[in-house]
Structure 1
Amino acid sequence: MSDIRDTFYAMGSDVDKWATRYGFAKSIPFDGRRTKVGDPKARYAGFYLLEFSNNEWYLGESINVRNRLGQHKLTYGDEVASVRLLLQNLSKPALRKREKGFIHELDGMVRGQLRNKAGAGISAGSNELVDFLDEAEQELWLEDPKKFNASDDASLKALLEGQEVKYRTAATKFRALPNSRALTNVLRSFLESCVPAPRRTEFQSWNVSCGTFDWRRAFCVSVGKMEVLAVGPDGRGFIVVRKSLVLPDQQAQRAFRKRHPGVQVDTKTLYEDSGPDVARLRATTIGDLESLLDDPAVQRAAARLVLDVMRKHPSVYSRYHCTQLVEDVYSGYQRPEAEAPLDTAEAKKLVTELADEARTLEGENGDDEVEAPQNIAMQPDDIPLFWFVNAGPKESTRNTIADFRQADEWRMDPDERYETKVMDMLPGERIAVRKRYNTKTNIPFDHRDHRVSCMDILLTGTIVENPGDGVSVKVEWDPPTAPRTWYLFTSQDTVWPLSPVHPWSRHLIDFTFHDARQDLDYWRNVSYWRARFGDN
């Protein structure tokens, strides 16, 4: 125990020296918005370094540091012991750029003790994989991924019925490639060597897309927000790995080049989810790629990265998952009958039309060999998402609830952060306009003087057309109803898509669109909120 305390003390001392070197002010007690940040009436931009009582840290930036500290107080409560500030009047892009550099440096110093998700290699206290593998299983998998996966008897998952339809055409073209069998073997090798229990974690934790970038990629495997394996139709591709596990020093680098003379090493391409300890290994032939995947050091380095990212959060690319490629890899496993989607009649009609189109392509009896077309347009994305969106700001007279009803549309001001999401909205998908805020007033449970995150559902409807401008969709709005308030599980994002795959999302979807009651006793006692609102 004393060794652990000594290690934490050394980490803290190193972080203090690092912060002092960059000009952070001395450590002061953390008290949210009431933290002493210069003139109480002034607004300060800059950086802050939170130190938690368990010797973990969080590095952040803001153009309004006092407000941001208040938000962290709501999130972490009394877990934060102190904070160090570096107040600098920089633009938002400059703050973000420097924050990224700070996080990368800290990640190298206190690996596994940093709570940041973006920019850090491992996020302290975050393990989103426990829904599929408990922590003991994860450690057992890490000891020998291939052995663990070989002994796992999990079946393939049942998925929403539209998922199989969506990329059937792309899968047909993939199977028509001359070396499709070799490419499938590459995918199989990666999944069995580098992905935790791939049949259990499919869809939610990892995805494989097919035929992206105008078929410059035959397939791409993604976890979290990043790609980890991408392969072209000719077998060229790359694997993303933990650099420290395969190329830790010059001797290891020389040995690697000797084993893989045709492979290029790229250490300049960084990913938000990976942190700085990352390298892309580029193979120019399928033989080089196969050689990489047979290398135990590469397997170990890729597996470690995949596990780290899966623990952070689910994959954001589930919409683009090609089930057929997974079924080709695991041809000995049968996927259960598809689940009916939680969708509207219009979306079900769209799925049926796509299914008819795919059946026409495959032939009348479903067994005919069909030549894959040379130009494949991406199929419309028919996996239902439920969209929670904002109205315009109070100080603006644009984009009000009345405007939406009068124009039969939802619209936002141009914002590049959300425009691609708006373009993803599909006819038949449900949409809700909501107002999010924090309050202590009229809370239907004991909030113990903590502010509670709330969301008023103001308007619901069904998307009927997407013009593709990235800022609007046409909507058939439901009849007006009194606003209903949802508590705790909320988001500030202007556009917040939810998939019914996650149980938390299903609760909110049912509340919003099916008049279900929110089980506040359940939500108060979820681990994230239990310390503030849960039963004693």
Structure 2
Amino acid sequence: MTTRKRIDRKRLDQLAEFGSRRRELRAELAKVDADIDPLLKPVYLEGWSWEQIADAAGMSMMTVSNRLRKQGVISGGHDDAGPFDQFTKADLRTERAKKIASERRKKMRRHSALTSLLSRRPAHPHSTGHSASMSPRDLSADDLSVDWSGDERVAQWAIGRGFGVTAFRLDRDGLKLFKSAYPADRCGLYVFECVNHDVYIGIGKDVAERLPQHRKKHPGALTFRFLPHPGNEAERRTVERRLVRDAQTAGLTVRNREHASGHVGPSTLDVLISEEEQRTWLQDPAGINAPDESALVELDHSQLAAHEGDFQRLRRHPRYAEIIEVLNAYAASCIPFPRRTEATFWTVSCFPSSNRARIFCISMATLETFFIAVSNNEHGDIHARLFVDKRHLPSGKWGRVLLAARGIMFDDDHRHKSGGAFEQCLVVNDIRELRSVLKSKHIRAAATAFNLDLMRKRQSAYKPSHCRQLAQAALEISYPEATSRPDNFT
């Protein structure tokens, strides 16, 4: 007689539990999608990029495109404003084949040029009559390209800082030559030069593996040089930061974002403020800012609630009116279109927890650009620090004397790691002197240039710390006449 195997429902019950949860999540997702769909059309029509819309919605660009097509926002045919051309599968295969063929032709031309150069190389004087093979170290930027040659200034700077004399081509053949020249340890720093002679400086444990990762973002990169550095990563980072600043000081155009001053190429800021508006703004920041009445972006109620207590604490401060006026004056004079860029490209924290002495701190990209803090003295002063571009400050003795007469001191020891080659920290003993400080044409030019450069790099990294109540209180003050007219002397 056979006994029937006992069935344990434990796993089936677990499966049923997960299945129920899955159905709940799918229902919840369907509800969220229903809330998203009505927002896609107005956001699309505002002109935001496909990447921004897809990232905000948590969807792929293809999904966003399909949903907009269903709503009739874009046509089923080719959409010039779309994220990609509406090719058929046959068209895609044709385009892909053309691209592959083009790449092969380029490689064949480079290979032919290299072969021709190697065949023309004279035999070594001690050889037996056979042509000696060309060492990778003997190849220069001019050898590796028929139609393009590297900038002599870049070569002189790189060689003078310890990078190799050899400029390797940044392609498969060039990397093979590099690996044969450095078969073992390829840990260190590199500098590559682009077709327009911009440079980028970086580090890598294996530079041969790291360099190809730059091709997508920097397709114009043509040659590179190598500086061995077997130390740890922190040491290489320090050297990288020093070299980036040194290259900018030497007059080279540096594409690094983290340690360089300025930003090369397109920026996400251009979507919000056109490049023409940015150029015009630099000529008259306060005058351009004054008539701007853009609505502030909507923030989540949770974020507003999170900072309400700090703002109410600030309102009880005995110098609250002065503090708000100081923030208003700085925004009106030094921040590009402060209403339009508030909460995205610049943020302000109220009584930041990272430093108890500080009252507020304005941040752009990853840096603080202006903050005020309680001074450690018996007078109860509130000092201020501004970070600016020193290229716009007077370099002569008397220029600094005139700035000192306004109460401005130069702090050469206080710098950010990623502040760039031209960052300068300025200190004002008390906020009552700030209105006079911001009347200086040099200070305003230095602050506006520094801030615009940071905004062009990226949006503020400190959005969760932004206090809308403080920003709104400052922005809603009418722009004062005093700061809209810079002095013509300092």
TM-score range, shorter chain: 0.5 to 0.7
Matched residue SS, 2:416: coil
Per-residue deviation, residues 74-127 of structure 1 (Å, max 9, x unmatched): 4334x111111112322212211111111011111235x211001110121142
* Distance in 1 of aligned mates of 2:410 and 2:279: 28
The aligned residue for residue 468 of structure 2 is: 323
* Distance in 2 of aligned mates of 1:223 and 1:66: 34
| 1:94 counterpart = 2:235 | yes
Please point out which of 391, 396, 399 is paired with 1:252: 399
Bigger fraction of residues in helix: 2
Q: CA deviation at 1:35?
A: 4.8
* Distance in 1 of aligned mates of 2:224 and 2:282: 35
Q: CA deviation at 1:252?
A: 2.3
The aligned residue for residue 140 of structure 2 is: none
Per-residue deviation, residues 2-32 of structure 1 (Å, max 9, x unmatched): xxxxxxx999322211111122222121116
Q: CA deviation at 1:50?
A: 0.7
* Distance in 2 of aligned mates of 1:76 and 1:42: 27
Please point out which of 129, 153, 168 is paired with 1:14: 153
Per-residue deviation, residues 196-231 of structure 1 (Å, max 9, x unmatched): 001100111000000124541111111011111111
| 1:107 counterpart = 2:248 | yes
CA 273–99 in structure 1, closer or farther in 2 if over 3 Å, else same? closer
The aligned residue for residue 339 of structure 1 is: none
> Does the CA-based 8 Å contact 1:220-1:227 persist in structure 2?
yes
Per-residue deviation, residues 367-389 of structure 1 (Å, max 9, x unmatched): xxxxxxxxxxxxxxxxxxxxxxx
CA 87–36 in structure 1, closer or farther in 2 if over 3 Å, else same? farther
> Does the CA-based 8 Å contact 2:187-2:207 persist in structure 1?
yes
The aligned residue for residue 307 of structure 1 is: 452
The aligned residue for residue 471 of structure 1 is: none
* Distance in 1 of aligned mates of 2:281 and 2:216: 36
Q: CA deviation at 1:194?
A: 0.4
The aligned residue for residue 63 of structure 1 is: 205
User: Which one has the largest radius of gyration?
Assistant: 2
Write the letter of the residue equivalent to 2:384: G
Q: CA deviation at 1:326?
A: 1.4
* Distance in 2 of aligned mates of 1:137 and 1:162: 34
Please point out which of 36, 48, 52 is paired with 2:194: 52
Q: CA deviation at 1:322?
A: 0.2
The aligned residue for residue 276 of structure 1 is: 421
The aligned residue for residue 306 of structure 2 is: 166
CA 130–35 in structure 1, closer or farther in 2 if over 3 Å, else same? farther
Please point out which of 148, 152, 161 is paired with 2:288: 148
Q: Provide the TM-score with structure 2 as the length reference.
A: 0.62
Q: 1:33-52 residue pairs with structure 2 within 5 A?
A: 34-39=175-180, 42-52=184-194
Write the letter of the residue equivalent to 2:317: L
The aligned residue for residue 83 of structure 1 is: 224
% identical aligned pairs: 26
The aligned residue for residue 117 of structure 1 is: 257
Count of aligned residue pairs for this structure pair: 321
Q: 1:325-344 residue pairs with structure 2 within 5 A?
A: 325-331=470-476
> Does the CA-based 8 Å contact 1:51-1:57 persist in structure 2?
yes
Per-residue deviation, residues 428-486 of structure 1 (Å, max 9, x unmatched): xxxxxxxxxxxxxxxxxxxxxxxxxxxxxxxxxxxxxxxxxxxxxxxxxxxxxxxxxxx
Per-residue deviation, residues 229-276 of structure 1 (Å, max 9, x unmatched): 11125431111111121133334223322x32x432112322244202
CA 322–246 in structure 1, closer or farther in 2 if over 3 Å, else same? same
Matched residue SS, 1:167: helix
The aligned residue for residue 175 of structure 1 is: 315
Write the letter of the residue equivalent to 2:205: I
CA 11–178 in structure 1, closer or farther in 2 if over 3 Å, else same? farther
Q: 1:94-243 residue pairs with structure 2 within 5 A?
A: 94-110=235-251, 113-212=253-352, 213=354, 215-233=356-374, 234-243=381-390
* Distance in 2 of aligned mates of 1:11 and 1:207: 41
Q: 1:482-497 residue pairs with structure 2 within 5 A?
A: none
Per-residue deviation, residues 161-186 of structure 1 (Å, max 9, x unmatched): 22211100000000100010000000
* Distance in 1 of aligned mates of 2:149 and 2:324: 48
CA 327–19 in structure 1, closer or farther in 2 if over 3 Å, else same? same
> Does the CA-based 8 Å contact 1:11-1:110 persist in structure 2?
no
> Does the CA-based 8 Å contact 2:186-2:205 persist in structure 1?
yes
* Distance in 2 of aligned mates of 1:122 and 1:181: 34
* Distance in 2 of aligned mates of 1:331 and 1:51: 47
* Distance in 1 of aligned mates of 2:280 and 2:245: 28
Write the letter of the residue equivalent to 2:309: T
The aligned residue for residue 215 of structure 2 is: 73
Matched residue SS, 1:166: helix
* Distance in 1 of aligned mates of 2:212 and 2:150: 26
CA 11–121 in structure 1, closer or farther in 2 if over 3 Å, else same? farther
* Distance in 1 of aligned mates of 2:284 and 2:315: 31
Q: CA deviation at 1:151?
A: 2.2
> Does the CA-based 8 Å contact 2:410-2:426 persist in structure 1?
yes
Bigger fraction of residues in strand: 1
CA 206–180 in structure 1, closer or farther in 2 if over 3 Å, else same? same
> Does the CA-based 8 Å contact 2:385-2:426 persist in structure 1?
yes
Matched residue SS, 2:154: helix
* Distance in 2 of aligned mates of 1:108 and 1:127: 23
* Distance in 2 of aligned mates of 1:10 and 1:76: 18
Write the letter of the residue equivalent to 2:152: S
* Distance in 1 of aligned mates of 2:439 and 2:303: 32
